[in-house]
């Protein structure tokens, strides 16, 4: 019963796409659209198969994902402890909040020019942009999350004999988790966009690069293929990674603190 | 120790009277740190110029008229794109929020196209419209429209059904309901969507200016990078940061809070 | 004010979770003469809220008809005003603007409709709250605004859906007395839904007991008005009537 309803909802989700693909397959040839302007569905499929077979697609996707993973991992490793440390003291967190909000504002794309100057082209610069996009936002959100844990909760833990370490693992981290997860989600969103933008100008492998170089040759089928891959990848990241994470933490604990 | 506490107390008192102070004072240590780091030449001057240089370049570019012009260009593009995004996004959001059919048909498509992201559209937009205002405006509209639509839908759907019913039982016609119930009811969420949308929008603008631009702050930064002139890059970043920080913290956030709190609506 | 007649009203719907058809309301007929106060009581799930939603036109009936002064009605409208359990006040409008909403929909000018609104606010003893926003008021006050708002639109029939259920016991008693006072002044035709037996007997001229979607019995309440809790709590007839209704409800 549950399986059937999941299946139904998946099918209902995919139905509009089937319609869209159908329209694409029919209308583009019918109106004899110039392939240099918009590709046929068949051409995109072919390009996909070809790029898959000769490994270029894998190379691009792999490079992009690697950068995202490394950048995000580094950022989280630094941001969460820093955010917790700052959030614990109300005075410190009030003082530092405007600062981190300011830097959150710059997260990601705005750092591309200076990143390429400092790290040259390639992996370093792009990963730095990603790191940046995630770091400031997660730090800010962690700070906020810890600072807004109701004082009674911390007092309760203290009166039940929680030491410093237990306070951290049993109260601060769980309490701040919804905000942290929100921060990760937002940060990843910025990071993904920053990734694509940075790859367009600062490297020679990656999804952004794939799109940008195809433009030079009017290979619209490669561009559209790339766009679809980017969309699907982000949907997968969102649905398979972020949404379950949110569900497991926020909804399960009944904390409705965010939109 | 008591001196420190006294200073802290004074700071809290002053900043509660003039909130602007609380927004500015935390930056003083940062700027001081920046100045110290550059003065000690921990990084080569070529990589990290000091605040004084940045300030000087700022004055210079303003004097030359370049900065105001680029700033105006960027702001105009963002405003035009945002205006279109709002004009298209809110009605679309209301439609999807109210109509089950529209929701079923359009929602999956919305999620997917949002996932593609604004930047990824640049190459094909350049093929279609070349390097110009149209391309950039379209990118911004594309970026802004998704948060607006999604948040509008959320807002519309979270209006309690009794509110609709109350209006109906008081004799409101369906079109009237849109104006009297749906729009005000969804407004706090719409403003949240607007705020998010603008946040993504200006980032898309900068990226577009970096990649395909011929003027604007993003272009300023990228052009400076090509010339190896770090000062201008830093200047661009400072200006961007301050500009958006001011708009977001002092205009958008208060408006968002005001509608939500004044009406006692819990939208988050 | 018009009379309300409900004839052979039924409502069946399909419950996707149970996978079966559910009959919420089964062949219900009742009559509320113009200017009378009728209360529907019954245990939870007996269908009383469904009956109200049907009469209000919020949901369509499977069969049967609803008549106002012998004219059938369908769909919601200003002829049947509603007071909701959750108050349903518009949080973005002041109290005054909320009460003036109905007249506004009728196209009445600003000065005129504010005058009407103030009149009904005074009736509900809420004149000082006119400029406040709903979320600044207590639950009891909000519901008084709800009543004022529904009445200010001068509906033919007033429908009240467990309006005092969300309010604390003390306030509830005050509101009930207030309601009878207002009713005696304006004499609307009222259909009042509640699960509180004492409340039904206190307020109504007639108590209709509903169970499992059907009318069990209709009982006349001829206690004198004005009614006050202190007096009625000692009154034998009140106790007898309440006892009888309670018995019916519990036997259902």
- Three-state SS sequence of chain C: CCCEEEEEEEEEEEECCCCEEEEEEEEEEEEECCCCEEEEECCCCCCHHHHHHHHHCCCCCCEEEEEECCEECCCCCCCEEEECCCCCCCCCCCHHHHHCHHHHHCCCCHHHHHHHHHHHHHHCCCHHHCCCCHHHCCHHHHHHHHHHHHHHCCCCEEEEECCCCCCCHHHHHHHHHHHHHHHHHHCCEEEEEECCHHHHHHHCCEEEEEECCEEEEEEECCCCCCCCHHHHHHCHHHHHHHHHHHHHHHHC
The least confident of A98-107, A198-207, B176-185, C42-51 is A98-107
Q: For residues B79 and B144, is the Cβ–Cβ distance under 8 A?
A: no
| Rounded-to-integer distance, Cα A36 and Cα A219, Å | 7
CA–CA gap between residue C39 and residue C47 (Å, rounded): 14
Residue percentage of chain C with pLDDT more than 70: 98
The stretch A45-58 carries a mean pLDDT of 86
| Topology of the domain covering B51-262 | MetI-like fold (1.10.3720)
Summarize the confidence of residues C154-163 as an average pLDDT: 92
C131 to chain B, any CB pair closer than 8 A? The answer is no
End-of-domain residue from the set C116, C131, C154: C154
- Please name the member of B105, B116, B241 whose beta carbon is closest to the beta carbon of A16: B105
The alpha carbon dihedral of A179, A182, A183, A184 has a sign of positive
- Of the pLDDT bands very low, low, confident and very high (cuts 50, 70, 90), residue A253 is low
**In 3-state terms, what secondary structure has residue A204?**
coil
| Residues C71, C166 within the same domain | yes
Nearest to A110 by CA among C219, C241, B238: B238
Q: In the sheet that C206-211 helps form, which strands lie side by side, from edge to edge?
A: C80-83, C157-161, C189-194, C37-41, C206-211, C214-220
- Give the mean model confidence (pLDDT) for residues B86-100: 93
pLDDT at B224 over 80: yes
Interface of C with B in 52-71 (CB under 8 A): 56-58
One domain, residues C64 and C162: yes
Average pLDDT of span C204-217: 88
Task: Please give the backbone phi and psi of residue A89, each rounded to the nearest 5 degrees, phi first.
Answer: -95, 120
Shared domain check, C118 and C15: no
Can you tell me the distance from the alpha carbon of C163 to that of C147, in angstroms, rounded to the nearest whole number?
9
How distant is the alpha carbon of residue B161 from its chain centre?
A: 32
Residues C74 and C162 in one domain: yes
Both C125 and C235 in one domain: the answer is no
Confidence of residue A51 (pLDDT cuts 50, 70, 90): confident
Strand-pair category, C37-41 with C189-194: parallel
Interface contact B264-C86, CB threshold 8 A: no
Residue environment code for A167-201, b if the CB has 16+ CB neighbours within 10 A, otherwise e: ebeebbbbbbbbbbbbbbbbbbbbbbbbbbbbbbb
In B, which residues are within 8 Å of A101 by CB distance? 245, 249
Q: Which residues contact B182 (CB under 8 A, 6 or more apart)?
A: B94, B97, B98, B156, B159
- CATH number for the region A52-251 comes to 1.10.3720.10
- Check if the beta carbon of residue B164 is closer than 8 Å to that of residue C82: no
A170: closest CA among A182, A154, A183? A154
The count of other CB atoms within 10 Å of the CB of residue B2 is 6
CA distance B148 to A75: 29
Interchain CB contact of B204 with A (< 8 Å)? yes
In a domain, C108, yes or no: yes
The Cα of A168 is separated from the nearest Cα of chain B by a number of Å equal to 26
| Residue range(s) defining the domain that contains residue C139 | 89-154
Same domain flag for C163 and C229 = yes
Q: Does B206 touch chain A (CB under 8 A)?
A: yes
pTM here?
0.77
Residue C80 in contact with partner chain B when CB distance is under 8 A: yes
Instruction: Round to whole Å and give the CA distance between A200 and B122.
Output: 10
Residue closest to A106 by CA, chosen among B85, B45, B248: B248
pLDDT tens-digit series, residues A184-207: 988 888 888 889 988 988 888 889
Q: How far is Cα B118 from Cα B82, in angstroms, rounded to an integer?
A: 14
Q: Are residues C72 and C163 in the same domain?
A: yes
**Neighboring chain A residues of B200 at a CB cutoff of 8 Å:** 193
Query: Residue length, chain C?
Result: 252
C144 and C175 fall within a common domain = no
Residues of chain A found within 8 Å of residue B192, distances taken between Cβ atoms: 259
Half-sphere exposure of C71 (CA within 13 A, CB side): 6
Distance to chain B for A224, nearest Cα, Å: 8
The shortest C-alpha distance from A197 to chain B (Å) reads: 6
Contact check, Cβ <8 Å, A215/B233: no
Burial status of residue A254 (CB atoms within 10 A of its CB: 0-12, 13-18, 19 or more): exposed
Residue B186 forms contact with C (CB below 8 Å): no
Answer whether B168 touches C (CB < 8 Å).
yes
pLDDT at B267 exceeding the cut of 60: no
In a domain, C32, yes or no: yes
Cβ proximity of A74 and A139 under 8 Å: no
Chains with ≥3 CB–CB distances under 8 Å to A: B
Asked if B228 reaches chain C (Cβ–Cβ under 8 Å), the answer is no
Distance of CA A65 to the CA centre of its chain: 10
pLDDT in tens, B153-172: 988 988 888 999 999 999 88
Instruction: Give the least confident one: A158-167, A237-246, B239-248, C169-178.
Output: A158-167
Chain C residues closer than 8 Å to B165 by CB: 56, 58, 76, 82, 84, 88
Of C56, C134, C136, nearest to B169 by CB-CB distance is C56
Interface test with C, best of B163, B171, B181 (most C CBs within 10 A): B171
Nearest to B124 among A20, A116, A223 (CB): A223
Co-location of C165 and C126 in the same domain: no
- Using only C-alpha atoms, what is the Rg of chain A? 22
Per-residue pLDDT at B141: 93
CB contact under 8 A, B268 and A102: no
Are C133 and B180 an interchain contact pair (Cβ–Cβ within 8 Å)? Answer: no
- Give the one of C77, C84, C106 whose C-beta lies nearest to B166's C-beta: C84
- What SS3 string covers B11-22? HHHHHHHCHHHH
Q: What is the mean pLDDT of residues A71-100?
A: 87
- Residues C185, C66, single domain; the answer is yes
State yes or no: pLDDT of A251 exceeds 70: no
Computed over every residue of chain B, the mean pLDDT equals 84
* Torsional sign, CA C155, C159, C161, C163: positive
Which residue(s) pair with C211 in the sheet?
C214
SS3 (DSSP) at A138:
helix
Q: What Å distances lie between residue A220 and A39, B127, B129, C168, C227, CA to CA? A: 6, 9, 14, 67, 82
Given C106, C128, C154, the domain boundary residue is C154
How far, in whole angstroms, is CA C218 from its chain's centroid? 17
Q: Domain boundary at C154, C178, C207, which?
A: C154
* Any domain includes C84: no
Query: C4-15 and C63-68: which strand pairing?
Result: antiparallel
What is the spatial distance between Cα C66 and Cα C57, in angstroms, rounded to a whole number?
9
* Closest chain B CA to residue A94: B22
Q: Give residue A258's pLDDT.
A: 36
pLDDT in tens, A109-125: 888 888 888 888 888 88
Interchain pair B117, A112: CB under 8 A: no
Same domain, C97 and C130: yes
pLDDT the model gives residue B130:
85
Model confidence band, residue B217 (pLDDT cutoffs 50, 70, 90): confident
Å from B170 to nearest chain A CA? 31
Nearest CA in chain B to C89: B163
Best C74, C78, C92, C98 member to test B by mutation, with max B CBs in 10 Å, is C92
Residues near A41 by beta carbon (within 8 Å), at least 6 away in sequence = A21, A24, A25, A28
Burial A154-163 (b: 16+ CB within 10 A, else e): beebeeeebe
Q: Is the pLDDT of residue C190 over 90?
A: yes
> Does A71 score more than 90 pLDDT?
yes
Q: What is the spatial distance between Cα A110 and Cα B240, in angstroms, rounded to a whole number?
A: 8
Confidence label for A257 from pLDDT (cuts 50, 70 and 90): very low
- A219 three-class SS: coil
Do residue C73 and residue C183 come from a single domain?
yes
Chain B, nearest residue to A231 by Cα: B116
User: How many degrees, rounded to 5, is the angle at CA A64 between CA A58 and CA A70?
Assistant: 125
Q: Indicate the number of domains in chain C.
A: 2
Domains in chain B: boundaries: 51-262
C116 part of contact set with chain B, CB < 8 Å: no
Q: Report how far residue B181's alpha carbon sits from residue B162's, in angstroms, rounded to the nearest whole number.
A: 11
């Amino acid at each position: 019963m549950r399986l059937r309803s999941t299946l139904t909802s998946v099918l209902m989700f995919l139905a509009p796409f089937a319609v869209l693909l159908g329209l694409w397959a029919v209308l583009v040839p019918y109106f004899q659209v110039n392939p240099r302007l918009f590709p046929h569905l068949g051409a995109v499929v072919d390009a996909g198969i070809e790029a898959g077979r000769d490994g270029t697609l894998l190379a691009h996707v792999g490079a992009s994902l690697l950068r995202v993973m490394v950048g995000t991992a580094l950022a989280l490793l630094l941001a969460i402890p820093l955010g917790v440390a700052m959030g614990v003291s109300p005075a410190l967190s009030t003082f530092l909040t405007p600062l981190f909000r300011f830097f959150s504002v710059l997260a990601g794309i705005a750092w591309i020019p200076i990143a390429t100057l400092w790290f040259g082209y390639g992996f370093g610069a792009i990963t730095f942009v990603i790191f940046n996009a995630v770091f400031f936002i997660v730090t800010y959100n962690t700070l906020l999350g810890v600072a807004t844990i109701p004082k009674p909760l911390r007092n309760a833990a203290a009166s039940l004999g929680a030491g410093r370490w237990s306070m951290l693992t049993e109260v601060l981290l769980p309490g701040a988790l919804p905000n942290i997860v929100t921060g990760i989600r937002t940060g990843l969103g910025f990071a993904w966009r920053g990734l694509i933008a940075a790859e367009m100008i600062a490297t020679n492998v990656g999804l952004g690069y794939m799109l940008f170089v195809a433009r030079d040759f009017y290979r619209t089928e490669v561009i559209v293929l790339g766009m679809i891959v980017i969309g699907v990848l982000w949907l997968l990241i969102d649905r398979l990674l972020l949404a379950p994470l949110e569900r497991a933490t926020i909804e399960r604990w009944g904390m409705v603190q965010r939109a | 120790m008591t001196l420190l506490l006294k200073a802290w107390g004074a700071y809290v008192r002053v900043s509660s009277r003039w909130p602007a102070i609380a927004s500015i004072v935390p930056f003083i240590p940062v700027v001081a740190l920046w100045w110290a780091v550059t003065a000690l030449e921990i990084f080569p001057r070529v990589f990290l110029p000091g605040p004084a240089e940045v300030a000087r370049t700022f004055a210079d570019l303003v004097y030359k008229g370049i900065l105001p012009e680029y700033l105006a260009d960027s702001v105009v593009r963002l405003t035009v794109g945002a205006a279109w995004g709002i004009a298209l996004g809110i009605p679309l959001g209301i439609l999807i929020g109210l109509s089950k059919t529209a929701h079923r048909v359009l929602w999956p498509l919305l999620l997917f196209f949002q996932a593609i992201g604004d930047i990824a559209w640049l190459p094909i937009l350049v093929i279609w419209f070349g390097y110009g205002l149209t391309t950039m405006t379209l990118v911004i509209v594309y970026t802004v429209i998704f948060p607006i639509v999604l948040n509008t839908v959320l807002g519309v759907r979270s209006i309690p059904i009794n509110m609709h019913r109350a209006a109906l039982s008081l004799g409101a016609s369906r079109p009237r309901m849109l104006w009297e119930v749906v729009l005000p009811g969804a407004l706090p969420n719409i403003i949240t969507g607007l705020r998010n949308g603008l946040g993504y929008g200006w980032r898309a603008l900068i990226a577009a200016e970096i990649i395909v631009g011929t003027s604007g702050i993003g272009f300023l930064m990228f052009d400076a990078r090509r010339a190896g002139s770090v000062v201008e890059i830093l200047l661009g970043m400072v200006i961007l940061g301050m500009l958006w920080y001011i708009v977001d913290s002092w205009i958008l956030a208060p408006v968002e809070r005001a509608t939500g709190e004044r009406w006692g609506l819990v939208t988050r | 004010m018009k009379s309300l007649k409900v004839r052979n009203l039924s409502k069946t719907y399909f419950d996707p979770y149970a996978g079966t058809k559910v009959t919420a309301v089964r062949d219900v007929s009742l009559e509320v003469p113009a200017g009378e106060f009728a209360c529907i009581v019954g245990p939870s799930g007996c269908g009383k809220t469904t009956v109200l939603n049907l009469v209000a036109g919020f949901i369509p009936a499977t069969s049967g008809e609803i008549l106002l002064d012998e004219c059938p009605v369908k769909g919601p409208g200003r002829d049947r005003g509603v007071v909701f359990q959750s108050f349903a006040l518009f949080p973005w409008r002041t109290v005054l603007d909320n009460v003036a909403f109905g007249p506004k929909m009728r196209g009445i000018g600003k000065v005129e409709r504010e005058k009407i609104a103030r009149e009904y606010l005074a009736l509900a003893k809420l004149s000082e709250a006119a400029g406040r926003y709903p979320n600044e008021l207590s639950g009891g006050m909000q519901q008084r605004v709800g009543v004022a708002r529904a009445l200010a639109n001068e509906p033919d029939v007033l429908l009240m859906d467990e309006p005092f259920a969300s309010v604390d016991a003390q306030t509830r008693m005050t509101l009930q007395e207030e309601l009878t006072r207002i009713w005696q002044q304006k004499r609307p035709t009222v259909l009042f839904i509640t699960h509180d037996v004492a409340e039904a007997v206190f307020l109504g001229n007639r108590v209709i007991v509903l169970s499992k979607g059907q009318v069990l019995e209709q009982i006349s309440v001829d206690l004198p008005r004005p009614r006050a809790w202190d007096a009625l709590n000692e009154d034998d007839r009140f106790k007898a009537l309440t006892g009888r209704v309670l018995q019916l409800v519990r036997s259902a």
